[in-house]
Amino acid sequence: MADKVCLQPCLGLRKESILCRQAFYVVHEDLRPDQTVLGCGPALNADVQEDIDFIEMYPVMAMEACDLDCATNLVAKKGKQAARTIRVPELAAELGIEVDALPEEHIDTEHPAVQAMAKRIAEFVDQMLSA
Amino acid sequence: MVEDHDFKVGVLSCNGIGRLVSTVVRRAGYKIKELRPDQVVLLSSGRLAVRETEHMRLLEKYPLLVIDGCRPHCATFMANELGKKPSASIYVADVMAENKINVAGEKRRGLTQKGHKLVDAVAEKAVSEIDRIIADEMLSTI
């Protein structure tokens, strides 16, 4: 059984991407520091060994800002399959987050939307590690 | 004719997540777009990594400025992988050294004034390159 989950964000430019990256910081730094690693898309694409190791060693949770599924497809490009793909718009809707109302360019990690999303992602991490 | 041309520059920043500089680079990208709204197309490394059609079209159409945050030079790697030679490259460490900016104590989840000083310096350098690239394109066309 894996002891960590690789959090792989899509790292696009949209608000949904920013929400995801900020939530991942909260999950990795505050909520589940010993149970997660942060996967960096550009580094994975560039075959940086640490990022290759992350997707090899740990189940990947890909988080997508839209239905292009860039993070999931990038992991597949490197020969692995994401164990779980989550779409930010769907999760935001489930949590009652109005993405349009969020600030542009940067969302503070203390923002209720980031905190709510991080809490939910932490639950997904727990599910993946207990599977 | 000049009127038929669309003088813009594609800006590809690494836009990672792991390091403090990822946040600097991401914020610099938005600042660059703010400073040159009609001359810049911000390219998403995520979409280019999977060769999304529209982003590939933009990459091919416009001259490219890459901004690399840390040693692996992931944005440059991506440009090379996709067969696009950058017209200019910026490495954030160079900007930091040139401007004598210290970002010790800054956090990747959110920047303070110190971090924003580096963001502004990167954006300023980028805009200078963008203006030069467009001037070069224009004078090589008309």
B2 pLDDT above the threshold of 70: no
In a domain, B53, yes or no: yes
d(CA B109, CA A112): 15
In a domain, B8, yes or no: yes
Q: ipTM of this predicted complex?
A: 0.92
Phi-psi region of B74 (alpha: psi -120 to 50; beta: other; left: phi over 0): alpha
Average pLDDT over residues B11-31: 95
In a domain, B82, yes or no: yes
Average pLDDT over residues A4-31: 96
Task: Give the structural domain span for B124.
Answer: 2-128
Backbone φ and ψ for B104, nearest 5 degrees, come out as -55, 135
Q: What percent of chain B has pLDDT over 90?
A: 91
Residue B1's pLDDT band (cuts 50, 70, 90): very low
CB contact under 8 A, B108 and A25: yes
**Number of domains chain B is built from:** 1
d(CA A44, CA B81): 13
Query: Could you report the per-residue pLDDT of B66-122, keeping only the tens digit for each?
Result: 999 999 999 999 999 999 999 999 999 999 999 999 999 999 999 999 999 999 999
CB contact under 8 A, A22 and B109: yes
Q: Which of B16, B27, B47 sits opposite A43 (nearest CB)?
A: B16
CB contact A42 to B (< 8 Å): yes
- Which DSSP string corresponds to A66-118? STT-HHHHHHHHTT---SEEEEHHHHHHHHT--GGGSPSS---TTSHHHHHHH
In a domain, B54, yes or no: yes
Q: Which of A46, A70, A73 sits opposite B77 (nearest CB)?
A: A46
pLDDT of res. A107: 96
pLDDT of res. B101: 97
B23 pLDDT above the threshold of 60: yes
The end-to-end CA distance of chain B, in Å, is 6
A121 pLDDT above the threshold of 50: yes
Q: Tokens 């203006």 label which residue?
A: B131
pLDDT of res. B4: 60
The end-to-end CA distance of chain A, in Å, is 8
CB contact B71 to A (< 8 Å): no
A81 pLDDT above the threshold of 60: yes
